[in-house]
């Protein structure tokens, strides 16, 4: 059950508007912050991807600035596949007015042909299969439980905001199964989408953890994150979400959440992107450090803003 835009306006907490941003509705402001958070977390985390926490400490004390570099030798502010696949998916959703499997697979195929800076193995393999078969749904595989579908769910969360959960799940399956046809990947995608939508509706983190995450972990215990600190999270979607949830629920602002998660190393661009998406949706634009917004690639910054606005314009509550 989702709240309507009207309910949000009456019940959401007061939100400050950062200097320099045009006035936005609370819904659009938090949707925009989720998109910028995704890109900022990606750009911040990519520098330390595949490093261990102790290697990060030796190199920079704590990693807290968008400086580029890393194994991909990025320019400062440059993003990776997490952000660019999300933008490709969002463009396909906007062009077709819904999440269409074939349009999504075509968009990802075009993205791959444009030689992205990085690409996951599962994504590459299943897109190559799509070129041969023309079937946008990858074959089911228990091995395809990587985080590559979960990292790009944001456009689905925005476009389906206000829809029933079954419709949200179907929309996600259409995008996710182009590359990851796997029950754990699906579960992760769905819980992330529903969490983003919870925060857009103004729910607080305690309620989300109790009402959204607890039943999810009861159903899928592999995602439990209360046992041991998850450092060096791999690309396995359960490890990714464990690191994200630990950082997200242990901190109370955008900046500390992202610094916590990327300094765990491992698949840090993707943990950064997912944590940044959730933290943006939770805290809003005013909470994103100005230095990070300034340091993000300007073209990506604008694309994220524009797409957040267009996708929210599509959803029932934003129309």
List residues near Mg ion by CB under 5 A.
80-82, 269
CB of 270 to Mg ion, least distance (A): 6
Give me 8's structure tokens: 């949000």
CB of 216 to Mg ion, least distance (A): 24
Give me 7's structure tokens: 């309910």
| C-alpha triplet 300, 69, 285: angle, nearest 5° | 35
C-beta of 27 vs 107, nearer to Mg ion: 107
C-beta of 82 vs 144, nearer to Mg ion: 82
CB of 86 to Mg ion, least distance (A): 11
CB of 110 to Mg ion, least distance (A): 18
C-beta of 82 vs 297, nearer to Mg ion: 82
C-beta of 127 vs 287, nearer to Mg ion: 127
Largest CA distance in the chain: 52
- Using DSSP's 3-state secondary structure scheme, residue 69 falls into strand
Who contacts 34 (Cβ-Cβ below 8 Å, separation ≥6)? 154, 157, 158, 196, 199, 200, 277, 278, 280, 281, 308
Under DSSP, the state recorded for 14 is: P
CB of 82 to Mg ion, least distance (A): 5
C-beta of 81 vs 198, nearer to Mg ion: 81
C-beta of 80 vs 122, nearer to Mg ion: 80
CB of 80 to Mg ion, least distance (A): 3
**Is 312 in contact with 318 (CB distance < 8 Å)?**
yes
* Residue number closest to Mg ion, CB atom: 80
Give the separation between CA 185 and CA 178, rounded to whole angstroms: 12
| C-alpha triplet 134, 136, 140: angle, nearest 5° | 115
- Using DSSP's 3-state secondary structure scheme, residue 258 falls into helix
CB of 38 to Mg ion, least distance (A): 11
C-beta of 50 vs 249, nearer to Mg ion: 50
Report the candidate in 154, 114, 202, 109 with the shortest Cα–Cα distance to residue 310: 154
CB of 28 to Mg ion, least distance (A): 26
What one-character-per-residue DSSP string does 92-161 give? HHHHHTS--HHHHHHHHHHHHHT--S---HHHHHHHHHHHHH--SSPPP-TT--BSTTGGG-HHHHHHTT
Give me 132's structure tokens: 């041969």
């Amino acid at each position: 059950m989702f709240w309507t835009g009207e309910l949000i306006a009456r019940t959401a907490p007061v939100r400050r508007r950062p200097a320099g941003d045009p006035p936005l509705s609370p819904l659009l402001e938090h949707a925009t912050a989720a998109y910028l958070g995704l890109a900022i977390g990606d750009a911040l985390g990519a520098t330390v991807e595949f490093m261990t926490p102790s290697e990060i400490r030796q190199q920079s004390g704590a990693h807290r600035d968008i400086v580029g570099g890393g194994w991909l030798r990025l320019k400062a502010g440059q993003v990776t596949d997490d952000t660019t696949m999300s933008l490709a998916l969002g463009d396909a959703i906007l062009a077709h007015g819904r999440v269409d499997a074939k349009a999504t697979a075509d968009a990802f195929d075009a993205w791959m042909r444009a030689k992205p800076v990085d690409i996951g193995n599962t994504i590459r393999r299943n897109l190559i299969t799509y070129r041969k078969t023309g079937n946008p749904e990858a074959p089911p595989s228990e091995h395809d439980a990587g985080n590559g579908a979960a990292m790009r769910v944001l456009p689905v969360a925005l476009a389906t905001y206000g829809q029933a959960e079954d419709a949200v799940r179907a929309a996600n399956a259409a995008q996710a199964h182009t590359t990851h046809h796997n029950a754990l990947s699906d579960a992760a995608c769905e819980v992330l989408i529903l969490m983003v939508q919870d925060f857009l509706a103004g729910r607080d983190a305690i309620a989300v953890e109790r009402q959204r995450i607890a039943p999810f972990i009861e159903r899928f215990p592999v995602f439990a994150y209360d046992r041991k600190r998850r450092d060096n999270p791999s690309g396995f979607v359960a490890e990714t979400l464990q690191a994200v949830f630990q950082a997200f629920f242990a901190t109370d602002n955008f900046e500390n959440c992202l610094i916590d998660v990327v300094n765990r190393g491992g698949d840090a661009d993707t943990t950064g992107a997912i944590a940044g998406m959730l933290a943006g949706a939770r805290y809003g634009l005013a909470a994103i450090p100005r230095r990070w917004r300034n340091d993000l690639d300007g073209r990506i910054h604008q694309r994220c803003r524009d797409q957040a606005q267009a996708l929210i314009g599509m959803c029932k509550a934003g129309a």
